[in-house]
């Protein structure tokens, strides 16, 4: 009987240790789960930031780039007309058009000493890279 008593006592001790340690493990698992949820919340914040940031930056970039595209497109078109002019009348008309396009360019340069589309594109790329790095 002493052997059975020892076996029962040992079994009860093992069960007691298992129950006691399972409570600690459960608390640790809950803590780890909460830490994972907190980290995932940070990922969701960065995803939301990207969703909010990208459309705004793209629209800003499009607006600035369109203004510059219009001015430089008019200058290129006037140069092409001047180069292709055959008669003096065509040359005068093309020269007048080129003068008008250059005047618009000068107004843009006076208002914006540095044309901004390149800077805006670079800013867009930097913001996207930063957001992607935070997500990684």
Per-residue pLDDT 10s for the chain (136 aa) are 577 788 888 888 888 776 666 666 778 888 899 999 999 898 888 878 877 877 877 777 777 777 777 877 887 888 888 788 888 888 888 888 877 877 777 776 666 655 556 677 677 778 777 877 776 6
- pTM of this prediction? 0.46
Neighbours of 16 (CB within 10 A): 10
Q: With the CA atoms of 89, 93, 98 and 101 taken in that order, what torsion angle do they form, in degrees rounded to the nearest 10? A: 180
H or E segment and range at residue 43: helix 2-84
Phi-psi region of 71 (alpha: psi -120 to 50; beta: other; left: phi over 0): alpha
């Amino acid at each position: 009987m002493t052997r059975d008593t020892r076996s029962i006592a040992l079994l009860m001790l093992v069960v007691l240790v298992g129950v006691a340690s399972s409570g600690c493990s459960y608390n640790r698992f809950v803590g780890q789960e909460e830490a994972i949820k907190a980290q995932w919340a940070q990922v969701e914040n960065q995803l939301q930031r990207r969703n909010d940031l990208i459309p705004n930056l793209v629209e800003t970039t499009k607006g600035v780039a369109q203004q510059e595209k219009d001015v430089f497109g008019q200058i290129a078109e006037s140069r092409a007309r001047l180069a292709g002019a055959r008669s003096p009348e065509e040359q005068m008309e093309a020269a007048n058009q080129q003068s008008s396009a250059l005047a618009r360019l000068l107004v843009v340069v006076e208002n914006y000493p540095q044309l901004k589309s390149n800077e805006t594109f670079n800013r867009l790329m930097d913001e996207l890279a930063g957001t992607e790095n935070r997500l990684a």
